[in-house]
Amino acid sequence: MKRKNYSTAAEIAALHGVTPAQVIALQRAMQTTWDGIAGDWLAAFEGGEEEALDSFASEAHMVSEATIDAGRVFMYGDQDLAWFRDHPTQLELARAAWTARS
């Protein structure tokens, strides 16, 4: 899947009160999680990837919903995300992190 890059990790970090390293760690954890669940996630939509993407405002919305919902991002990979568990803007931060540039 193609990603559009909107902001740098530093810009996203400043907006959400975290560090750039945390934004990158979240992005990596989301990528690892998405790699593990994407096939099943997309198969849940009768129209496959196209229908899945049409069901969300953007790819970032879809992937953040799929990886963050139900704590899936904590089940995959080895990133330390203890700081993220109770972050007040989890989904917004995840959407931004998904598209972050280094």
Q: What is the pLDDT of residue 9?
A: 96
Is the overall model pTM greater than 0.85, yes or no?
yes
Positions of the chain with pLDDT lower than 70, given as ranges: 1-6
**Alpha helix ranges (H) inside the chain:** 9-16, 20-43, 48-54, 59-68, 90-98
Residue 8 DSSP symbol: B
Coil, helix or strand at residue 101: strand
Q: What is the pLDDT of residue 34?
A: 97
Residue 37 DSSP symbol: H
